[in-house]
Chain A
Amino acid sequence: MADLSDKAQALLEAQRTRYLASFGEKAANLRNLWKTRGESDGLELIDAVHRIAGSAGLHGQDEVRQLAAQCEQVLKDSEAEADAQRQALAALVKRLEA
């Protein structure tokens, strides 16, 4: 890794502390998005998880990054499946109402 100045390292350390302190709130946000996922298309939840996957590694939280990346993939797969279900159902409903 490139050598960073003491000042930059101190700033990053402060950021890291703030980042760790935000975990509780991030968890609460994810819980809330999970609860309300039926009201939207689920992309908001995927986006929130994606952000954590992106930021965690940069702040030295590799375990969180891995969990977030796995979670993102599962959510995306599930969303794709749900989307396929929605499309199949819509086609059936459309035919029935024709």
Chain B
Amino acid sequence: MDDSVLSGGGSALPASLELSDLAEPLLVRTDAAFRVLDWAGDPAVYDFSLEAGQDIRAAMKFLVGLDGFESVTFPMLWVDGNRPIHVSVMAQPQLGQAYVLLSDANATDMADLNLRRQVEKNEIVEYRVSQLETELETAKKEAAQASELKSRFIAGMSHEFRTPVTSVLGYVDLLEKDYGRDDRRLQGIRRSATHLLSLVENLLEHGRVVADRIEPVEEEVNLRRLFESIYMMFEPLAQQKELGFEISDQGCACEEIRTDPVRLRQIIVNLISNALRYTESGTVAVTWSQGNDRLRVAVADTGPGIPEDKRRQIFQAFSSLEDEHTRAKGLGLGLSISQHLADVLGGDIELRSTVGEGSVFSFEVRAPGVLAVNVAPPEVQAGQRRILVVEDDMDVREFLAVILADLGYAPTLAINGQQALDKLASMSPSVVLSDFHLNDISGEKLIHDICAAGTPVIAMSASNAEADRNAAFEAGCSAYLVKPFDLDVLSRELERAMHG
């Protein structure tokens, strides 16, 4: 320590060394023989009077017998019957010096008492915290048990509800045969029953999600039929709300896929149901495509849109965006369940939305195609001739299916070249009517392979290019029809191809 730090009279004690006012410390520096060098603090507080060079033991009798080479502490001393003091002697033999520190022991006692009180208070708090933790743990267990009971109850009730609601829908089907699908009374019953069934299904599924009990049950599914049935399900509701509603494919490499049809359907139904519920005007458009063993579905609406800060929330259970602008009501389970189901099917739901313009919910799930080699050809009635139609455009394929059936043929449809070759062997068609521009196999190769199997082919294309026509004939086709073709020409060419 710098000698100038403690100057005689104690006036130079730096602020950083100031102790509590209560302790009123007196710090005295001495040499090894306890002669006072300087001090800080007021010696009069302790009824001492100090002078530089004085042997401190003359004033502080309690130091008699000690020297400046030994550190010692007196926790409590009574000096001349006055207040108790605390004394520490800190020897620094290497410097030939010692420090003697006096402080008011009452203040120290008080500090100790306060410390003890604080420790006791902490112990009480800790005890209380541990009690609360125990109570919390018990409450959590009770809540988990209550939740389990609630889930069982909901699952049980949902199951009990589903059976009669399904029955109601069955009777609606029967009544529609007599009264037609346009009967508004039946539309009302169907709409309500469908909504109720959807709620019940979601409650059931939520119970499974909570219990983490969903295992996909895969089977072969015809995508086109699946989407057709979904269209039939929602079309009345869209009509009632005067909304545009359409479902269309954007390319389908294979319409027969393997997936869990119940869960896939549920995701699509939930997304469409939400879109129709929240859209008050405009359109709900569903697009789907299948390729590379994946199914992609997008549901676009012209509803109010979803604000950025709500997009995470709406995927949580029992959460929905009902406000004064919508009359929509729901449990807020659909998206939460759909997200979980998409995950089960190997995918994820994405959301793009613009407030005031609408939203697009899309997802992509695993959907390996099943080559329809084991699909039984349609039953052929007497006088009907089998015809294999190869066309990758749904609009054209459906058109031809109606025309050919009406012309007395039994059409089997293939959506690409590979499916056509697979079906060729099992159905032995009288003739093949094939698009010339397919995505998976070139028209020339397909015509060549089919002709090589002994079946005549009529090629069709939107292209009237000479090069395409020549290529088709060189590959072996019997006729080349440019779309749109006259049905008389089609009929004539089919007869000609079959007879020779």
Q: Are A59 and B393 neighbours in the complex by a CB distance under 8 Å?
A: no
CA distance A2 to B402 in the complex (A): 13
From A2, A8, A25, A53, contact of B287 by CB (8 A):
A25
- Chain B neighbourhood of A29, CB < 8 A: 250
Q: Is the interface of B mostly helix, strand, loop or mixed?
A: mixed
Instruction: State whether A25 and B248 are in contact (beta carbons under 8 Å apart), knowing that A1-B487, A50-B437, A55-B399 are contacts in the complex.
Output: yes
Are B396 and A58 touching (Cβ within 8 A)? yes
Option from A8, A19, A24, A55 in Cβ contact (under 8 Å) with B406: A8
Instruction: Report the Cα distance A57→B393, complex, angstroms.
Output: 13
B339 to chain A, nearest CB (A): 25
Given the known interface contacts A12-B399, A12-B402, A19-B395, the answer about A53 and B462 at a Cβ–Cβ threshold of 8 Å is yes
Kindly list chain A residues whose C-beta atoms are within 8 Å of the C-beta of B462. 50-51, 53-54, 57, 65, 68-69, 72
Tell me which residues from 428 to 458 in chain B have a Cβ below 8 Å from any Cβ of chain A.
435, 437, 439
A54 and B487 in contact, given A11-B402, A15-B399 (Cβ under 8 angstroms) = no
Q: How far is the CA of A55 from the CA of B250 in the complex (A)?
A: 14
Give me 8 A-to-B residue pairs in the complex whose CB atoms sit less than 8 angstroms apart, sorted by A's number. A24-B244, A24-B283, A25-B246, A51-B395, A53-B463, A55-B396, A65-B484, A72-B462
- Pair A8/B395 contact, Cβ less than 8 Å: no
Quick one: which of B407, B437, B483 has the most chain A CB within 10 A?
B483
The interface size of chain B toward A, counting residues with CB under 8 Å, comes to 30
Q: Is A18 an interface residue, CB under 8 A from the partner? A: yes
Give min CB distance, B210 to chain A, whole Å.
38
Interface centre among B393, B395, B435 (most CB of A within 10 A): B395
Additional pairs, 13, CB under 8 Å, beyond known A21-B244, A25-B246, A65-B483 = A1-B487, A2-B487, A2-B488, A4-B403, A5-B406, A8-B405, A18-B246, A19-B395, A21-B246, A24-B244, A25-B287, A47-B437, A72-B463
Nearest CB of chain A from residue B404's CB, rounded to whole Å: 10
A5-B406, A8-B406, A47-B439 given as contacts; is B483 within 8 A of A22 (CB)?
A: no
Quick one: closest B residue to A11, CB to CB?
A: B402
Q: Which of A7, A11, A24, A51 contacts B393 (CB 8 A)?
A: A51
**Chain A 67-96 interface 0/1 with B at a Cβ cutoff of 8 Å (1 = within):** 011001000000000000000000000000
Nearest CB to that of B399 among chain A residues?
A: A58
A62 to chain B: which residues have CB within 8 Å? 484
| A1–B285 touching, CB < 8 Å | no
Binding site for A on B (CB under 8 A): 244, 246, 248, 250, 283, 285, 287, 392-393, 395-396, 398-399, 402-403, 405-407, 435, 437, 439, 461-463, 483-484, 486-488, 491
Q: A22-B246, A22-B248 are in contact. Are A54 and B405 (CB under 8 A)?
A: no
Which A residues lie within 8 Å of B486 (CB)? 1
Bound-state Cα–Cα, A24 to B392, Å: 20
Known contacts A8-B402, A8-B406, A24-B285; is-contact A58 B246 (Cβ 8 Å): no
